[in-house]
Amino acid sequence: MLKALAVMTSGGDSPGMNAAVRAVVRRALDYGIQVYGIRFGYEGLVTGGDQIVPLQWKDVGGILQKGGTFLGTARSDRFRTPEGRRQATLHLLEREIEALVVIGGDGSLSGAHLLAREWSEHVEGLGRSSPAGEVHPLQVIGLPGSIDNDLHGTDMSIGADTALNHIVRAMDDLSSTAASHQRTFVLETMGRHCGYLALTAALAGGASWVLVPEEELELRWHQKMVAALDHAREIGRTHQMVVVAEGARHPDGLFINSNEIRKLLVDRLGIDVRVTVLGHVQRGGSPTAFDRVLATRLGVAAVDTLMQGPEGVHCHMVGLVRNTVVKTPLSEVVEKSRAVGMEIENGDYARALSLRGGSFRNALDLVKTLTRISPAQETRDDGIVVILTAGADAPGMNTAVSVAARCLLNEGIRTYASPDGFLGLIRGNLQPLDWHQLVGWVNRPGSEIGTARYEFREGDLERIAGTVETNRVRAIVAIGGWGTYRRAAQLAESQDRLPALRIPVVLIPATIDNNLPCTEYSIGTDTALNNIVEAVDKIRHTAGASRRAFLVEVMGRRSGFLALMGALASGAEKAYLPELGIRLSELNQDLEHLRTSFRQGKRLVILLRNEHSSARYTTDFIRSLFEEESEGAFQVRTAILGHIQRGGIPTAFDRILASRMGAGAAGSILESLERGSARCTVVGLSGRGIREFPLEEALEQMEMGEGRPKRQWYMDLVEMAQALAKYGPSRSSSS
């Protein structure tokens, strides 16, 4: 039985490290394990003394939303020596620490792997082996903490999403000033051996060109770039952005300097070009909701891995692969993570790109497609494709429209919008989509072509068939939520009766509720979740010295995704979900918990309630109940976030997801038109990729009466959220 473990953050800091430490500490304490925090990484481990401190439940309260790492981090030359690692071993043995959780990048995880490998040697050298000469191995678990997202064994590392959003917000800000002065900006991002940040920022920010370390450039690459930017200017794009990773290289292996690019564009095109190097601003600030949830899931998994297999020797990293937590041997993580950099240094870019994996290569291909396409010189005169956004608006809809339409226009297919969703088809009001407008839609909130909730009435299907026939509509791309799916199903069911409707229809999931089948995330969900988390963070700032319980009502309809993930990301003590319902006995337990917590010194408690978690126990009812029965121990306030959740500029995650889905939908339409197919399909995020599913399959996965999928992956996280949000551990720690 594991009795004590230590947790540390090492190397460069990344947003979300605090969330990971919090999860490790609280999960371990809940198991009854003594927990130590090591200050300033390996340097603190070598120093020992007051740099290794016991951590209790309250010590990690209030750190979830803070950037950086409260434990501190530092580089350690002493740990690189055998003598330094022996000192580190001594300090762990003195406190009977049997396991070490290290949060950091490849250098930090490499150090953990080396210490674990040398452990027996150091223990014997210190004379600390058992009388029988036995040495208990050091259990080591690594967590990927790096904004570069350059670690093998995980699709995302802690901090990468936050850094990406910093870059994309900077691109949005630069775009406005670029438009005012008709300037071109060269934006340099971090990433010496990994182009993830530059690549995904270019995709999310609508850049005109991107340069990354993994891609081998042609000898005259700069001529292609200049020609592409010049062509974009000719077709009306007066301001542009070139994104370059700091590790991008010339064909001869020398680094590309951002000022070189500026001078090249000024000399060749005679345009006004400015350089912006973002630097360390990329790794600062409060972590995004995605990074908080990722860090929490991985922190809990680290402790669970140690506890579920205590008899074995653990020397692994836990990461997120295809939305599932997996463990990978540290030796493999270190070897394959460093292999990419070595291949780049050796000039084998094809091998480096191969090691990055399929999702990286797909993203690079998509960026190349979007930066190189332009309106076809000749348009086909065999009909049009219609794009519509229906139901409630969701952040990222415009991105999906923009990418799908440009991909189709690039193939010479005339593309029109149906204003206000299906109403445009019913009224015969179709409007051509203009390439120059579409380019600027990538970062816009809401839906530029309009959206509306609408139930078909008698004669509507016949009117749509008339519009389709009159305008020679060859296919439809419909972007929206569950109502949009049901309208599309009605169109498909009417094909035998109305032959004009025998056309391909592709559905793109866009709803903040994240309640759709065949996709793990819907467009708009991430933005809404971040809006919720930002609101709860602000509520925490109002706590002061008062004793208050805040009951925050969030959207989601019959899906508890926003409430549950919002609670995980904000540290809320409770999430009331429609999947679980609310019982009076549960409310009584929560009430008693509130009384106890506030009497023990708690100043603020946050409770999240999904809008449809109960028809009877409403937000006002729960507030009244808690306030009446508080016995003067605390006050109760409510906050109904309402439509603020669906507002604002879409996050990088939503833009990238919308870009991938929009391109996937356009590809599906082109394939159906070529084959003469009239299939009705749904695109969705499954694992690492965008997949296409028959609409019938999607409908079968829904609980029709509840309006949510039968299988909801996020419900597996309920126990985790409940365990971490308590005021203290269930079991006493061994301290």
Q: Is 704 exposed, middle or buried (0-12, 13-18, 19+ CB in 10 A)?
A: exposed
Q: Specify the pairing of strand 702-703 against strand 708-709.
A: antiparallel
**Phi, psi (deg, nearest 5) at residue 555:** -80, -175
- Rounded CA-CA distance 647/184 in Å is 29
Pairing of strands 414-417, 431-432: antiparallel
Q: Is 715 helix (H, G, I), strand (E, B) or coil?
A: helix
Whether the CB-CB separation of 722 and 568 falls below 8 Å is answered with: no
End-to-end Cα distance, the chain: 15
The runs of H, that is alpha helices, within 206-348 are: 221-234, 258-269, 289-308, 330-346
Distance CA 492, CA 485 (A): 11
Instruction: Report the distance separating Cα 303 and Cα 29, nearest Å.
Output: 10
SS (H, E, C) 202-233: HHHHCCCEEECCCCCCCCCHHHHHHHHHHHHH
Integer Cα distance of 60 and 63 in angstroms:
6
Q: Which residues make Cβ contacts (< 8 Å) with residue 348, sequence separation at least 6? A: none
The owner of tokens 């999240």 is: 608
Which neighbouring-strand residues pair with 38?
8, 52
Q: Return the exposure string of 176-185: e unless at least 16 CB atoms fall within 10 Å of the residue's CB, then b.
A: eebeeeebbb
Q: Token pair of 694, please?
A: 């028959």
Burial (CB count within 10 angstroms: exposed 0-12, middle 13-18, buried 19+), residue 584: exposed
In this structure, the strands spanning 473-480 and 384-389 are parallel
Pick from 492, 649, 274: nearest CA to 658: 649
Chain Cα centroid distance, residue 368: 22
| Cα–Cα dist 695/488, whole Å | 9
Can you say whether the dihedral through the CA atoms of 45, 50, 54, 59 is positive or negative? negative
Q: Are strands 315-321 and 139-144 parallel, antiparallel or unpaired?
A: parallel
- Distance from C-alpha of 577 to C-alpha of 484, rounded to nearest angstrom: 24
Provide the sign of the torsion angle of the four alpha carbons 49, 52, 56, 62, taken in this order.
positive
Q: Quote the distance between the C-alpha of residue 117 and its chain's center.
A: 34
Q: For the beta carbon of residue 290, count every other beta carbon within 10 angstroms.
A: 26
**Is 148 labeled as catalytic in the residue annotation?**
yes
For residue 434, the one-letter residue type is: D
Q: Which two tokens stand for residue 453?
A: 């909730």
471 SS3 class: coil
d(Cα 144, Cα 157) in Å, to the nearest integer?
Answer: 5
Distances, alpha carbon 3 to alpha carbons 28, 95, 139, 321, in Å: 10, 10, 12, 30
| DSSP helix/strand/coil, 65 | coil
Largest CA distance in the chain: 91
Q: Any idea what the Cα angle at residue 10 is, between residues 4 and 15, rounded to 5°?
A: 105
d(C-alpha 613, C-alpha 74), whole Å:
46
Q: Looking at 148, 155, 393, 420, which residue is catalytic? A: 148
In the sheet with 315-321, reading across from the earlier edge strand, the strands are 52-54, 34-38, 4-9, 99-104, 139-144, 315-321, 324-329
Q: Return the active site residues.
A: 148
